[in-house]
Amino acid sequence: MSTFTDDSTIDDNETIWRRVSDAVDDSNLNRKRPSTACFLQDGPDGPVSVYLASEAISHKIVMENAKEPFLVELNAGFIRQLGIGIIRDPSSGGPGHALLTGRKTRGKRNKMAKAATWVDPYKP
């Protein structure tokens, strides 16, 4: 069962960065967008690794040793509206590292994938 936790000190206006591997063509949106698979790690209840833009040193640092070629950003308030929490986790990923908590159904992942915008220059 998923444990939903959220850190209310993370502002709804915070920008959330997620490193992603795959961009897919979306004819409905007429652009490329990340796959929903980019918002899944161990399973729908598992945490997803992200970064808080205001606390990470820079996107260059976030992407420095990343295996993923792309970076997307989402609004924290939008993520919470989906019923997904955000907690800080600097110990495992460095400054600004955080986790998305709670159940991330395919429907929720689809909404995140559609809302995500590419961060220049890490875009397809």
Name the residues that contact another protein, by CB under 8 A: 19, 21-22, 24-29, 33, 35-37, 40-43, 49, 66-68, 105-107, 110
> Regarding beta strands 117-118 and 15-20, do their DSSP bridges make them parallel or antiparallel, or are they unpaired?
unpaired
- Residue 38, classified by CB atoms within 10 Å of its CB into exposed (0-12), middle (13-18) or buried (19+), is buried
Question: Whole-number minimum distance, CB 22 to another protein, in Å?
Answer: 4
Provide the minimum distance between the beta carbon of 55 and another protein in the complex, in angstroms, as a whole number.
Answer: 18
| Structural element, H or E, at residue 103 | none
Measured from the CB atom, the residue of 9 and 29 that comes closer to another protein is 29
Strand 85-88 and strand 70-75: pairing?
unpaired
Strand order in the sheet with 48-52: 85-88, 97-101, 48-52, 15-20, 70-75, 117-118
For another protein, the closer CB: 66 or 115: 66
Tokens of 87: 């907690």
Nearer to another protein, 11 or 112 (CB): 112
Q: Please identify, using beta-carbon distances, which residue of 41 and 54 lies nearer to another protein.
A: 41
User: At its nearest, how many Å lie between another protein and the CB of residue 75?
Assistant: 21
Could you tell me the smallest distance in angstroms from the CB atom of residue 11 to another protein?
A: 25
